[in-house]
């Protein structure tokens, strides 16, 4: 039970960890000062959530590892984030598209996680949901602004949605830890979120004047530790200080 709960927590937290790192890359590179600060704050929100999850995971592990060890010192195949979270900041439209497609899922997920019989996970979800509600508003508004903006912004936003769409179905795949935690009434049955997710996403895309991708072919593997080439480069940056200066403390 404890091992499955530990793995279940990694499945939640790794998404926010990797996406937080991606958003953090934009610090100082946003299209405007206000947007730059907003993206940085979203990154900080996600890292704050990750810290709560990994503190709990470290307590469950009981082997002397800290939250920092779990976050920074695993190998690439030991990360179980969805492939969507690790996709690069190709341009601002891709950044917004990736954030939007994850945010809608994240809010639906946390809404259900609040009902968990695990009081720690329930408390984390209740704390995080206000932040993620803002993330949804931010990314949704930008999807509409870009989709309903200039011809160029519309084209770039459509290209981003089309390219990132293939990573969305993996959000609703169940791992072994997921199945055990659902049985224990601790975890969220993500398969039940799928219909509402695509309904909400489609409504925003239609409002933005964007086409809903028709592709039925999807990428998967992240939840099993099989990642795109992008994750290795991301981890090289994320883990640099911890690996260069082992046991470093602030």
In 3-state terms, what secondary structure has residue 209?
coil
> What is this structure's pTM?
0.94
Domain boundaries, the chain: 2-244
Q: For residue 113, which of 102, 123, 98 has the smallest C-alpha distance?
A: 123
For 41-70, write each residue's pLDDT tens digit. 999 999 999 999 999 999 999 898 999 999
- pLDDT score at 249: 67
* H or E element, residue 212: none
**Cβ-proximal residues to 14 (8 Å cutoff; 6+ apart), any chain:** 79, 80, 81, 85
Mean pLDDT of 224-232: 96
Taking domain 2-244, whether its CATH number is 3.30.420.40 is answered by no
For 172-215, write each residue's pLDDT tens digit. 999 999 999 999 999 999 999 999 999 999 999 999 999 999 88
Distance, in Å, from the CA atom of 43 to the CA atom of 48, rounded to the nearest integer, reads 9
- pLDDT score at 247: 76
Tokens 């997920």 — which residue? 109
Residue 31 has pLDDT above 90, yes or no: no
For 98-119, write each residue's pLDDT tens digit. 999 999 999 999 999 999 999 9
């Amino acid at each position: 039970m404890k091992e499955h709960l530990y793995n279940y927590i990694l499945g939640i937290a790794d998404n926010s960890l990797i996406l937080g790192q991606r958003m953090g890359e934009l610090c100082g590179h946003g299209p405007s000062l206000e947007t730059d600060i907003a993206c940085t704050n979203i990154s900080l929100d996600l890292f704050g959530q990750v810290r709560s999850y990994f503190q709990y995971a470290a307590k469950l592990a009981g082997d002397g590892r800290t939250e920092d060890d779990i976050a920074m010192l695993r190998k690439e195949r030991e990360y179980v984030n969805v492939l969507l979270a690790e996709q690069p900041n190709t341009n601002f439209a891709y950044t917004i598209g990736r954030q939007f497609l994850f945010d809608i899922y994240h809010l639906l997920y946390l809404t259900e996680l609040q009902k968990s019989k695990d009081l720690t996970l329930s408390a984390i979800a209740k704390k995080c949901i206000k932040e993620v509600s803002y993330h949804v508003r931010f990314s949704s508004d930008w999807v509409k602004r870009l989709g309903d903006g200039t011809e160029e912004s519309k084209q770039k936003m459509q290209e981003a949605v089309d390219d990132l769409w293939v990573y969305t179905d993996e959000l609703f795949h169940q791992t072994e830890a997921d199945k055990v935690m659902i049985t224990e009434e601790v975890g969220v049955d993500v398969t039940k979120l799928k219909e509402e997710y695509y309904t909400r996403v489609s409504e925003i895309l239609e409002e933005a004047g964007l086409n809903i991708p028709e592709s039925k072919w999807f990428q998967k593997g992240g939840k099993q530790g099989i990642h795109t080439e992008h994750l290795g480069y991301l981890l090289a940056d994320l883990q640099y200080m911890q690996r260069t200066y082992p046991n470093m403390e602030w």
